[in-house]
């Protein structure tokens, strides 16, 4: 063999793994991930989503790529973020927590599969036509957060049976949740013979102002409506509630872990894991129209006993007995 031929063959052999790697990268599926909030408060949830993907055999960076888009609590950016991912030609779009993000993705494409997570009724919100047969290019999971609003009010009533004035903190820019929650809160409070004050906030500063309003209105208990902004600002909300001595209940255990008094709702890490599993199944070829919308069936009550002591509140033994977890 001539020296020149040997060098040529050697060069070709060295190029084979490079070519194979380049082909693998080209063939790697890309998932578009849209979140209405910011990345820092959602680190554990993103990890749960990756875990669900992993259960179906997909590992980020190995055989699937994920392109993240964060709206940083500015819902007006969501249509632009969704359009960008459609332009990129991603294989699946995931909106794991925001109804507004899911609506933006649905408006952006009728062909790319979408996996959503929402706290509202996805049929009522217009995301799907049916839970069992969603149809089209979209499916996902509902946390049932709005549906269990009455249960949260009931827990506040059990905690404070003599309280007459409740309040609800709502992000008005999350229109689907805001409208439904406002009607629910007013109907439930009326049935209980209680007053309810709806307080709006869509920025960090407006959250501060909302608590000033709560103090002025002499609200005796607070329910935080499901929303990505509220989840991202859970530490701020919990601190303000403790500072003003307002008993608070929210939908995710993250609020109680951040210092809020109580939370009642589904485990968000589990719902993110489920969206990851559905995403993996679609990447393997399943049709989202044939995957029923999953409904949360297990809800957990978390009580922060340390916060109760701080604000001078005694938790009734009957309520402590219902708790799935008590933070000492």
pLDDT at 74 over 60: yes
Question: Do 153 and 128 contact (CB within 8 A), yes or no?
Answer: no
Q: Which of 20-24, 99-103, 110-114 has the lowest mean pLDDT?
A: 20-24
User: How does residue 26 score in pLDDT terms, banded at 50, 70 and 90?
Assistant: very low
Q: What is the mean pLDDT of residues 209-221?
A: 95
Q: What is the pLDDT of residue 180?
A: 87
Averaged pLDDT of the chain: 91
3-state secondary structure the chain: CCHHHHHHHHHHHHHHHHHHHHHHHHHCEEEEEEECCCCHHHHHHHHHHHHHHHHCCCCECCCEEEEEEECCCCHHHHHHHHHHHHHHCCCEEEECCCHHHHHHHHHHCCCCCEEEEECCCCCCCCCCCCCCCCCCCEEEEECCCCCCHHHHHHHHHHHCCCCCEEEEEECCCCHHHHHHHHHHHHHHHHHHCCEEEEEECCCHHHHHHHHHHHHHHCCCEEEECCCHHHHHCHHHHHHHHHHHCCCEEECCHHHHHCCCCEEEECCHHHHHHHHHHHHHHHHCCCCHHHCCCEECCCCEEEEEHHHHHHCCCCCCHHHHHHCCEEEC
List pLDDT tens digits, range 39-65: 999 999 999 999 999 999 999 999 999
50 CB-near residues (< 8 Å, 6+ apart)? 60, 66, 276
Is pTM beyond 0.95? Reply is no
Burial 254-273 (b: 16+ CB within 10 A, else e): bbbbbbbbbbbbbbbbebbb
Q: What is the pLDDT of residue 206?
A: 97
List pLDDT tens digits, range 114-158: 999 998 899 988 999 999 999 899 999 999 887 899 999 999 999
| Residues facing residue 221 across a β-bridge | 166
Q: What is the pLDDT of residue 23?
A: 41
Q: What is the mean pLDDT of residues 308-327?
A: 96
User: How does residue 20 score in pLDDT terms, banded at 50, 70 and 90?
Assistant: very low
Q: What is the pLDDT of residue 119?
A: 87
Q: Quick count: other Cβ atoms within 10 Å of Cβ 210?
A: 20
Q: What Å distances lie between residue 285 and 62, 92, 214, CA to CA?
A: 19, 11, 51
Half-sphere exposure at residue 320, Cβ-oriented, CA atoms within 13 angstroms: 11
pLDDT at 175 over 80: yes
Q: What is the pLDDT of residue 5?
A: 46
Give every strand in the sheet of 221-224, ordered side by side.
195-200, 165-170, 221-224, 248-250, 262-265, 300-304, 325-327
List pLDDT tens digits, range 217-273: 999 999 999 999 999 999 999 999 999 999 999 999 999 999 999 999 999 999 999
Radius of gyration of the chain (CA): 23
Q: What is the pLDDT of residue 7?
A: 41
C-alpha distance across the termini of the chain, in Å = 78
């Amino acid at each position: 063999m001539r020296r020149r031929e040997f060098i040529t063959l050697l060069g070709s052999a060295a190029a084979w793994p490079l070519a194979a790697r380049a082909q693998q990268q080209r063939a790697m599926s890309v998932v578009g991930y849209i979140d209405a909030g910011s990345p820092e408060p959602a680190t554990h949830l993103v990890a749960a989503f990756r875990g669900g993907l992993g259960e179906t055999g997909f590992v980020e960076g190995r055989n699937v790529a994920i392109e993240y888009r964060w709206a940083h609590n500015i819902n007006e950016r969501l249509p632009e973020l969704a359009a960008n991912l459609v332009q990129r030609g991603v294989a699946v779009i995931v909106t794991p927590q925001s109804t507004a993000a899911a609506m933006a993705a649905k408006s952006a494409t009728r062909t790319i599969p979408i996996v959503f997570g929402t706290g509202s009724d996805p049929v009522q919100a217009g995301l799907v036509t049916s839970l069992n047969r969603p149809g089209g290019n979209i499916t996902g999971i509902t946390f049932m957060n709005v549906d269990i609003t009455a249960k949260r009010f009931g827990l506040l009533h059990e905690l404070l049976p003599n309280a007459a004035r409740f309040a609800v903190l709502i992000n008005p820019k999350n229109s689907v949740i805001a409208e439904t929650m406002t009607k629910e809160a007013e109907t439930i409070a009326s049935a209980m013979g209680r007053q309810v004050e709806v307080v709006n906030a869509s920025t960090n500063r407006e959250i501060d102002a909302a608590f000033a309003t709560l103090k002025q209105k002499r609200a005796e208990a607070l329910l935080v409506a499901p929303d990505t902004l509220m989840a991202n600002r859970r530490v701020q909300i919990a601190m303000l509630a403790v500072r003003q001595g307002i008993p608070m209940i929210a939908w995710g255990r993250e609020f109680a872990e951040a210092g809020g008094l109580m939370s009642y709702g589904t485990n968000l890490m589990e719902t993110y894991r489920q969206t990851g599993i559905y995403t993996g199944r679609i990447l393997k070829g399943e049709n989202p129209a044939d995957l029923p919308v999953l409904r949360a069936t297990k809800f957990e009550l978390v009580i922060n006993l340390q916060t109760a002591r701080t604000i001078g509140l005694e938790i009734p033994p009957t309520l402590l007995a219902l708790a799935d977890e008590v933070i000492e």
